[in-house]
């Protein structure tokens, strides 16, 4: 038995290294494209023209966004237990900080682990709430991207990505609706998972069963639809923060054009990538500004760099403080998450 399981470790490490290589490769390619052909002297001259009066409003809108996310998460966690908005917001910021320094959005697992310690609740019981969050985010982003494609001349990878996102979100919403409203007897039975001989497949089936049950409980709880509309409020607040920086840089585009660029940025950073979405964030913004609305590459690159720093610096500061409050290290949390996942696999 032990000899058969040993080869799984190198395969898992090899798969993780491949994902990291792809994520960093995409980030580097995106940054090379962002700065290709940029006038260096004009770049620095342009970023110094920022009107700093718009920065506080942008930062405030961004911070309120994550307070709303803490409120939304509290609502989605009701089937598991009660917890304060302060704690869910603290865990959200701690997770954001982890995602800023670790690739592939490891922060999602970090915040789930912290909440499981604070409630207390099982780690696996917290994960469905995060899945619903991502589905809500994806649904509203899909609506926004659909409007962008309808009213603006989007071509190339952005158009292809928009169609793929719309299809993917449609399928995900259909799966969520089935998990929520299907009869309990029609959901997968755990005994089906136990009849599978492969330990990996058995763990996967067991996880999907628990996920479906968790989604069903969330979908039937009070606050489900309020959480859905809080997601829209979050998206609008983030678009407001983005627009404030557009105003601060005196870019000659309107509110709708600014919102379109913001939605393209959300599309470009939809998949897990390098820490803080470096590369894909800047590349998506420059693509939207220069390709769709004729902003010069130098100005678009300057805006993408400074706006990124201004919108992520509060995450670094508040997230770092929130993470310090958890009295844990990323390495400790990662080991504990691995232990919990392994324990879940042994149980099922």
Instruction: Please spell the DSSP secondary structure of 207-263, one letter per residue.
Output: HHHHHHHHHHHHHTSTTHHHHHHHHHHHHHHHHHHHHHHHHHTT-S--HHHHHHHHH
In this predicted model, which residue has the larger pLDDT, 94 or 193?
Answer: 94
Q: How much is the pLDDT for 222?
A: 84
Instruction: State how far the alpha carbon of 51 is from the alpha carbons of 43, 58, 258, 298, 307, in Å.
Output: 16, 12, 17, 18, 12
Q: How buried is residue 156: exposed, middle or buried, by Cβ count under 10 Å (0-12/13-18/19+)?
A: exposed
Q: What is the pLDDT of residues 262-308, one digit of tens each?
A: 999 998 998 888 999 999 999 999 999 998 999 999 999 999 999 99
Distance of CA 258 to the CA centre of its chain: 21
Tokens (6 digits) for 114: 């912290």
- C-alpha span between 84 and 99 (Å, rounded): 23
Does residue 167 contact residue 184 with C-beta atoms inside 8 Å? no
Q: How much is the pLDDT for 166?
A: 81
Domain chopping of the chain, boundaries? 53-347
Cα 287-291-294 angle, rounded to 5 deg: 120
Which residue in 57, 75, 59 sits closest to 231, CA to CA?
A: 75
Q: How much is the pLDDT for 216?
A: 80
């Amino acid at each position: 038995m032990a000899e058969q399981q040993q080869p799984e470790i190198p395969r898992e490490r090899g798969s993780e290294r491949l994902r990291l290589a792809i994520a960093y490769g995409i980030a580097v390619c995106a940054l090379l494209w962002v700065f290709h052909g940029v006038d260096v002297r004009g770049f620095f001259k342009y970023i110094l023209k920022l009107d700093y009066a718009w920065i506080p409003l942008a930062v405030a809108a961004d911070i309120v966004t994550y307070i709303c996310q803490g409120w939304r998460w509290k609502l989605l966690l009701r089937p598991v237990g009660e917890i304060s908005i302060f704690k869910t917001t603290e865990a959200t910021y701690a997770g954001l900080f982890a995602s800023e320094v670790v690739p592939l959005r490891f922060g999602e697992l970090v915040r789930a682990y912290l909440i499981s310690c604070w409630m207390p609740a099982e780690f696996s019981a917290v994960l469905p709430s995060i899945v619903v969050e991502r589905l809500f985010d994806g649904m509203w982003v899909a609506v926004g991207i659909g409007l962008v494609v309808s009213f603006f001349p989007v071509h190339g990878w952005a158009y292809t990505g928009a169609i793929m996102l719309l299809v993917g979100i449609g399928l995900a919403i259909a799966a969520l609706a089935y998990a929520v409203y299907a009869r309990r007897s029609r959901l997968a039975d755990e005994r089906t998972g136990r009849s599978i001989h492969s330990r990996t497949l058995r763990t996967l089936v067991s996880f999907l069963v628990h996920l479906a049950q968790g989604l069903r409980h969330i979908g039937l709880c009070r606050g489900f639809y309020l959480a859905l509309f809080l997601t829209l409020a979050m998206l609008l607040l983030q678009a407001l923060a983005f627009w404030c920086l557009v105003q601060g840089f005196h870019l000659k585009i309107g509110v709708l054009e600014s919102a379109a660029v913001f939605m393209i940025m959300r599309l470009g950073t939809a998949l897990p990538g390098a820490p803080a979405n470096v590369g894909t964030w800047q590349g998506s913004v420059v693509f939207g500004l220069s390709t769709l609305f004729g902003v010069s590459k130098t100005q678009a690159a300057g805006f993408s760099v400074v706006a990124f720093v201004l919108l992520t610096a509060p995450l670094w500061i508040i997230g770092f403080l929130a993470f310090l409050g958890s009295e844990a290290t990323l390495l400790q949390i990662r080991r504990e998450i691995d232990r919990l996942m392994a324990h879940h696999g042994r149980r099922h």
